[in-house]
Amino acid sequence: MNIKPNNKNLHFLQKSFKEYYFKNTDILECPHNISQREFGFMNFESDMKRHISFDDMGQLNAYLLQNVPSDIYYSNSYYEFPTFPMNEKRWIGADLIFDIDLKDLALPCLMQHTYFICKECGIVSQKLIKLCDLCKSTKIHSIVIPCPICINILKKETKKLISFLTEDFGIDSKYIFIY
């Protein structure tokens, strides 16, 4: 199965994402201190654009409609100059983030829903490969699509973390956000 979008698929994806961004501007959450954040965007060809900043949510929404990214990222850090190169940004502070990553939990079902994708030709395999059978590339990455068992275990780990933060550290749950 080839996952690289052809022009017709690419146009469909871009149109669908643009429509989604247009219809859902009210549900996109604005990070606090937005003007001090660095944003990054991935397009449908997997190209990343970084070191972008916005003064407000209106500017971000306009960017989304104009550029139609497939992925949106923003830094957990606050910078004096978020659009500058990393060594010139002048770090101010950061949000504390915990990443409960499925692949770190070593669940027995993980390999049943892990897919290996050749970055050169787009071939997808469910068996672990280090060399593409089709184009012989070694540029292989994996993607995990969590099953209901995985989701429930992730929820359980999240609840344990929240309990730890609220009970042991006294952090008010109104300052805890789950994504």
**pLDDT tens string 65-105:** 999 999 999 999 999 999 999 999 999 999 999 999 888 88
Q: What is the mean pLDDT of residues 40-51?
A: 91
Distance (Å, whole) CA 130 – CA 107: 21
Q: Out of 9-13, 20-24, 98-102, give the one with best mean pLDDT.
A: 20-24
Q: What percent of the chain has pLDDT over 90?
A: 65
Is the whole model's pTM more than 0.85, yes or no?
no
Q: Which residues contact 24 (CB under 8 A, 6 or more apart)?
A: none
Question: Is 105 or 3 the better-scoring residue by pLDDT?
Answer: 105
Confidence of residue 128 (pLDDT cuts 50, 70, 90): confident
Question: What is the predicted pLDDT for the residue at 4?
Answer: 53
C-beta neighbour count of 8 within 10 angstroms:
8
What are the pLDDT digits (tens) for 23-40?
999 888 889 999 999 999
Q: How confident is the model at residue 141 (pLDDT cuts 50, 70, 90)?
A: confident
Of 117, 134, 135, nearest to 125 by C-alpha is: 117
Cβ count within 10 A of residue 146? 15
Neighbours of 2 (CB within 10 A): 12
Q: In whole angstroms, give the CA distance from residue 47 to residue 6.
A: 16
Quote the pLDDT of residue 166: 97
- Count of Cβ atoms closer than 10 Å to residue 118 Cβ: 24
